[in-house]
Amino acid sequence: MSSSIIHLLPDHVANQIAAGEVVQRPASVVKELLENSVDAGATSIKLLIKDAGKTLIQVIDNGKGMNEIDARMCFERHATSKISMAEDLFNLQTKGFRGEALASIAAIAHVELKTKTEDAELGTHILMEGSQLVSQNVIVTPKGTSFLVKNLFYNIPARRKFLKSDQVELKHIVDEFERVCLAHPQIAFSLINNGSEMFVLPASNLRQRIVNVFGNKIADKLVPVEETTEILSISGFIAKPEYAKKTRGEQFFFVNDRFVKSSYLHHAVSSAFEGLLKEGVHPSYFLYLTLPPQSIDINIHPTKTEVKFDDEQALYAILRATVKHSLGQFQVVPSLDFQADMSLEVPYKLNGTESVTPTISVDANFNPFHDEPSETFQSKVLGNSHFEKSAKDFGKTSPSNTVFNSRNHVSPKWETLYAELPNNTDKILSANHLIEQDFQSVVMFENQHQDVVQSKSFQIHKKYIVCPIKTGMVVIEQRRAHQRILYENYLNRFNQNYNPSQQLLFPIRLYYSAYELEMLSQLQDYLEKIGINITEFSEDKIVVSGIPVGMNESEVSMVIDDLLSDWQSDIPKEEEHIRDRMAKSFAQSLAVKTGTILSEKEQEDLMNRLFACKTPNISPFQKPTYITMSLEELDKKFMI
Ligand code: ADP
Ligand code: MG
């Protein structure tokens, strides 16, 4: 008879296997420890991390603590104080219930536990290493529990190797931290990262908690949501559409105070925002659903962020209607319709700023000879900056490139016409008159800027610039061309020793969340190099007192916001990549938008500067910036 080959795995092996499911990264440990502290009834919870949790994670709470026996027991697999019968699973009031988190963590790290209950005089001190008890002592320690987790995955090098950069791991930790903090505003939380305070959140109400986590800029953007039905109650806040973000970061659902992900519920909320948001931005929301525990099953996923509801369809309908109602009730809708219109032509950050008047967006009655509105618009969008100021850098170096014929901007005919009309706002000069003067241009250009009329380059569909060249013609995509110019410009700044920045008379205050501030502090040297001087970092804002020559004050917050959302999850490690990514991000944010009318001068600058670039033919994102068509090709098209 052959010997039997099946045997039970030793506990530490079983624990390591379980750990694979529970602990994917430092953030998983953070989540489990924070939730245990919440379950222990703590009113104050402190999280300390070093090197994005790779070296150390510590959670200190003032909860109920554990006695000597529980302190030892908590590291056993399936050891939990939270449920005792299968039925309890259907009536969960706590975060944890599986009793495997601590066993898993202790299997793959060095863990130190200090804990004491209220009525005990002395506490318990335990050291664990790879599921093995190293020591157990009595200790003087305050009521509550401290778990210290060092050298995560020390015994599974393959897992350790797969951890991402510190920035990425820190981002995951902050995500978990924020979720727990938002679920429990009545508990005080703090997060200390590498010795410095990243979050200090006093016990507060929900609104204040959201503001404390995400910064003051969200404070006046929150719209309350409140609804109670037989099936569930919904409370929380949505952020006004104008606060919508390019990244989907600030979207939170809590079901019975537990953070959950649900694309179905997300869809319900998004559809309530329909028509209020521009393309590519996402609404922010903080919604708390309370349902009878029996009607949900949070047990379908080991890390418990997914949830199954009994009556999903009803939930969807109620949620959507409730959010819609709030948007309507707080009169978000009408003011937004107006803003959505504006967005057709004005970069989104300028929306709602006072200097952009509604008349500008109503392009239909635009009189090309009425100077004022178009100039306001132009200087607002282009800020006279990228084209005029920076033209100094670029325009000069390109001696009206060989690709282009030498151009004659203002024909004599036009000059005469101009001279006869000292005041060119004069209504005599109607569109009809123009047609007689230059039929062709007028047909090609509707709503144009007056300068364009006689120029040899033409802007078509507020998107392309067409220009004759010796061999035929060139068609330039204005946005991509400008991206190329800005990209090389900003890259160059990194290589120059001195980059003048315009000092601002009134420094700009910009509000950010703690995590964003942390990222900005890491990027400060780079920002400095290209001329953004941050002179003050405080707990919720930065003060910018200098900006690069060629940038507008109104653009600073836009470029920084874009930079932060581009880099949500990965700041590259190598300096060169950081520079490259930053230059790309700036180029993308600042490039003139499709839909912007360019004057003749601006078109000319754009072309000169494009062809002065090192690689004029492709955008920083590898798309063609222009195409050419030879006369022969044109001729061929007319042969048939
Ligand atoms: P679960 O949370 O699923 O019960 P864990 O492995 O996370 O499983 O924890 C095991 C047990 O250890 C918990 O049920 C609880 O009794 C105890 N425990 C863990 N953390 C704490 C804490 N911070 N304070 C008090 N007791 C704790
Ligand atoms: Mg737990």
Q: Taking the chain (640 residues) in consecutive chunks of 10 residues, what is each chunk's mean pLDDT?
A: 78 75 90 96 97 96 96 86 67 72 93 97 96 95 97 90 90 95 96 93 93 88 90 92 80 91 90 85 93 75 68 89 87 40 30 37 40 36 38 36 34 33 35 32 30 62 91 92 93 80 86 86 89 89 89 85 76 81 89 89 90 91 92 89
From the CA of 65, give the closest atom in ligand 1.
25
Query: Around Cβ 331, how many Cβ atoms within 10 Å?
Result: 10
For ligand 1, the distance from its centroid to the CA atom of residue 356, given in whole angstroms, is 57
Pick the closest to residue 562 from 595, 594, 588 (CA basis): 588
The pLDDT value given to residue 275: 83
Q: Ligand 1 mean position to 80 CA, how many Å?
A: 6
Rounded to whole angstroms, the Cα distance separating 53 from 69 reads 28
Cα–Cα nearest to 145, from 78, 60, 219, 74: 60
Buried b (16+ CB within 10 A) or exposed e, 399-428: eeeebbeeeeeeeeebeebeeeeeeeeeee
Q: What are phi and psi of 127, to 5 degrees?
A: -115, 130
Q: Is the CB of 92 under 6 A from ligand 1?
A: no
Q: Which residues are within 8 A (CB) of 431 and not within 5 positions of it... i.e. 6 or more apart?
A: 368, 442
Please tell me the predicted confidence (pLDDT) of residue 413: 34
Count of alpha carbons within 13 angstroms of residue 377, beta-carbon side: 27
Each residue of 592-622: b (16+ CB within 10 Å) or e? bbebbbbbbbbbbbbbbbbbbbeebeebbee
CA angle 593–604–445, rounded 5-degree value = 65
For the residues of 41-59, what is the DSSP string, one character each?
T-SEEEEEEEGGGTSEEEE
Q: What is the pLDDT of residue 281?
A: 85
CA dihedral 194, 198, 200, 205 (to 10 degrees): -140
| Atom 5 of ligand 1, residue of closest alpha carbon | 99
CB atoms near residue 76 (< 10 Å): 16
Residue nearest to atom 19 of ligand 1 (CA): 36
Q: Output the CA 230–ligand 2 centroid distance in Å.
A: 31
| Residue 137 CB contacts under 8 Å (≥ 6 apart), including other chains | 124, 125, 126
Decide: 152 and 109 in contact? Cβ < 8 Å.
yes
Atom 2 of ligand 1 has which residue's CA nearest to it? 96
Cα-to-chain-centroid distance, residue 417: 52
Q: Which atom of ligand 1 is nearest to the CA of 95?
A: 2
For the CA of 83, the nearest ligand: 1
In this structure, the residue with its CA closest to atom 16 of ligand 1 is 81
pLDDT of residue 245: 79
Total-model pTM: 0.64
The residue whose C-alpha atom lies closest to atom 9 belonging to ligand 1 is 99
- pLDDT of 54 reads 95
Q: Which pLDDT score, from 0 to 100, does residue 44 have?
A: 97
- Residue 58 phi, psi (nearest 5): -135, 135
Does residue 513's CB lie within 6 angstroms of at least one atom of ligand 1? no
Q: Is 616 near ligand 1, meaning CB less than 6 Å away? A: no
Q: How far apart are the first and last CA of the chain?
A: 91
Residue whose CB lies within 8 A of the most ligand 1 atoms, among 36, 37, 114, for a mutation test: 36
Q: How many CB atoms lie within 10 A of CB 268?
A: 22
Please tell me the distance between residue 82's alpha carbon and the centre of ligand 1 in angstroms.
8
3-state secondary structure at position 293: helix
Nearest CA to ligand 1 atom 25: 65
pLDDT at 494: 85
